[in-house]
Amino acid sequence: MPGKRHSQDEISNKLQRVEALTAQGKSLIDALKLIGVSRQTLYRWRQENAVSQPSPEKRVLELEAENQRLRKALTDLMLEKIAMQEAFKNR
């Protein structure tokens, strides 16, 4: 009898639920019984999702770089707007 296939959303929700339950003091075995998966499945999911998700530090650095890029773009657009307003005033 084949096992149930879980979607990626279900997997991430169940991983988060296990983390929350263990943080509340439940044992890992009890948490796994509540979500309905085996220990091996949990370890496989953790390994697969650890590769696909960037570390929080890397994510912060990416967001900071994007923030700098967006600020520069905004500054350029504001300078362009001021130049256009000056050009229309002098007409």
* pLDDT tens for each residue of 72-89: 999 999 999 999 999 999
The residues, ordered by sequence, that sit 6+ positions from 30 with a Cβ below 8 Å of its Cβ are 21
The answer to whether residues 29 and 39 belong to one domain is yes
For residue 32, CA distances in Å to 40, 78, 89 come to: 10, 54, 70
Residue 1 lies in a domain: no
**Do 89 and 62 fall into the same domain?**
yes
pLDDT-derived band at 2 (thresholds 50, 70, 90) equals low
Q: Are residues 63 and 90 in the same domain?
A: yes
Same structural domain for residues 66 and 82? yes
Residue 1 has pLDDT above 60, yes or no: no
Q: Is 13 in the same domain as 43?
A: yes
pTM beyond cutoff 0.75: no
Q: Identify whether 12 is part of a domain.
A: yes
pLDDT of residue 58: 84
C-alpha neighbours within 13 Å on the C-beta side of residue 18: 21
pLDDT single digits (tens) 26-65: 999 999 999 999 999 999 998 888 755 667 888 899 899 9
pLDDT score recorded for residue 53: 60
